Structure formats: structure tokens, C-alpha cells
């Protein structure tokens, strides 16, 4: 019977910064979620410029979801579906808040999937045999749930510390960022609701909400440390 010798010091490589013993998702998982949210608005705008699709181009600034009806539909659905998958597979930390991490991520992942599957109202004048008003209702309800879960992560789950422990100075700084992001998400949601009620574009409030969401997840995933580590490794290889 074959046996495998335990790893020696020569073969052992410590986990990357941020991947602690109780971290069962890893910083890269969080970074991917953050980058997906950060890139979504900019990539949609760029794609519709490369693939104009009149008359939808006159309508694209109403909301991020409106890009479903433009030449950027494949990118919109693909990025939102990818975000859904990474949220559904997010496991958080093996601590007392694990079930809340998993619950919020699963709810957010399902909401993102519904956004991709049930589009917003098509442009005026477009008639589709499969379209019903309840599709738009599902889309908007899922959007509210998704951004609410983003705010929940920033305002509560990301700011948690093990019971009885005093958070270090670095954690306090990050908690301040999470608080700003959570408040920013809620404020952006309120601005979007006001704009929608006035029949104005909600593209900018939605983009700001995604920006705050991305910022919190990238900070939680220690994206700056990963970038610095990559640059140091590249510099070391070049200098050889």
C-alpha cells in the first residue's frame, strides 16, 4: 500500500496572506467577486460601443439592467451569472458566523441568477411573445435583495470579530471602510429609488452601489496585498 510522507519544511508553503486557518473561501474568491462587481458597468459601456444595436443604444443609460436589450446582452448575462456562481460557492469562515455568511451568500447568489434569467422591461415599442409584466417584477425584487445582501456583508458580516477579542488596528481600519461601503450601498439604493420614481436614469446610482460593493469585497480579499505580492514576484524574476 502506497503511503505519502508528511510534508517537510522544504515542501511546505504557507497560505497566502488573508487565508487564515478558519478561512474556508480564501482571499482570491473574494477578489473575484469584487472585481466582477467593479468591472460590470465599465465593460457594459465599452461593449455597447463596440456592438451598437439601434434603437436600444438610445436607451442604455436608463439602468445597468437595460444593457440586456443591447449588443452587450451576452456580457451582461455572463458577468451576472459568474457573480451568481461565485456567491453561491462562497463559504466564508469556519466560525460562529459561518451560517450567516453562507445564508447571505446563497440568497445573493440566487438573486443574481434571477436578475440574469428575468430581464427588466424591454424598450418601448419592442414586442416579445414571451414577455410578461411579472418578469420585470421578479427582476426588480431580485435586484433589491442582491444589493441588500451586499449591504449586509459590509455593515455586519465583514465587520465581525471573534467573540471576546479586541480587533487589531488594521482590522479597525478595514471595519471603517466596510462601514463606509455599507452606508454607500444603502445611499445609492435610496438615490436609485428616488430617480426611478421620477422616471430618471438609475445607471449612476447602481454603478456607485456596485463600486462600494466591489471596494468592500476587494478590501476583505486583501487585493492590494495580492497585487503587491505579484509585482514583487515579477520584479524578482526580471532581476534574475
* pLDDT digit string, tens, across residues 139-187: 999 999 999 999 999 999 999 876 667 778 888 999 999 999 999 999 9
Is residue 8 scored above 70 in pLDDT?
no
Give the whole-angstrom CA distance, residue 234 versus residue 147: 37
Is residue 115 scored above 70 in pLDDT?
yes
Mean pLDDT, to the nearest integer, of 180-204?
A: 96
Q: What is the mean pLDDT of the chain?
A: 86
Confidence band of 54 (pLDDT split at 50, 70, 90): low
Domain regions of the chain by residue span? 27-122+131-160+168-232
Is residue 101 scored above 90 in pLDDT?
yes
**pTM of this structure:** 0.85
* DSSP for residue 72: T
3-state secondary structure of 230: helix
Percent of the chain with pLDDT over 90: 61
Mean pLDDT, to the nearest integer, of 204-219?
A: 96
Confidence band of 228 (pLDDT split at 50, 70, 90): confident
- DSSP-H helix ranges across 89-168: 98-117, 133-155
Identify which has the larger pLDDT, 13 or 90. 90
Give the whole-angstrom CA distance, residue 178 versus residue 212: 9
All cell numbers assigned to 173: 481600519
Is residue 212 scored above 80 in pLDDT?
yes
Mean pLDDT, to the nearest integer, of 6-28?
A: 58
Amino acid at each position: 500500500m502506497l503511503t505519502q510522507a508528511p510534508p517537510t519544511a522544504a515542501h511546505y508553503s504557507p497560505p497566502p496572506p488573508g487565508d487564515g486557518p478558519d478561512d474556508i473561501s480564501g482571499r482570491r474568491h473574494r477578489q473575484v467577486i469584487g472585481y466582477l462587481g467593479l468591472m460590470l458597468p465599465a465593460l457594459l459601456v465599452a461593449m455597447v460601443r463596440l456592438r451598437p444595436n439601434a434603437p436600444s443604444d438610445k436607451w442604455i443609460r436608463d439602468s445597468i439592467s437595460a444593457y440586456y436589450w443591447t449588443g452587450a446582452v451576452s456580457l451582461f448575462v455572463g458577468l451576472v451569472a459568474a457573480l451568481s456562481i461565485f456567491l453561491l460557492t462562497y463559504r466564508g469562515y469556519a466560525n460562529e458566523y459561518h451560517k450567516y455568511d453562507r445564508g447571505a451568500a446563497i440568497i445573493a447568489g440566487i438573486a443574481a441568477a434571477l436578475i440574469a434569467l428575468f430581464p427588466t422591461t424591454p424598450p418601448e415599442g419592442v414586442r416579445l411573445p414571451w414577455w410578461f409584466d411579472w418578469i420585470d417584477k421578479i427582476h426588480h425584487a431580485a435586484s433589491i435583495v442582491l444589493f441588500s445582501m451586499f449591504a449586509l456583508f459590509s455593515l455586519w458580516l465583514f465587520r465581525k470579530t471573534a467573540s471576546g477579542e479586541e480587533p487589531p488596528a488594521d482590522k479597525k481600519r478595514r471595519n471603517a471602510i466596510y462601514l463606509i461601503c455599507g452606508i454607500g450601498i444603502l445611499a445609492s439604493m435610496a438615490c436609485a429609488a428616488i430617480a426611478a420614481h421620477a422616471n430618471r436614469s438609475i445607471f449612476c446610482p447602481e454603478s456607485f452601489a456596485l463600486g462600494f460593493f466591489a471596494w468592500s469585497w476587494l478590501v476583505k480579499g486583501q487585493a492590494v496585498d495580492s497585487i503587491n505580492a505579484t509585482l514583487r514576484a515579477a520584479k524578482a524574476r526580471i532581476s534574475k
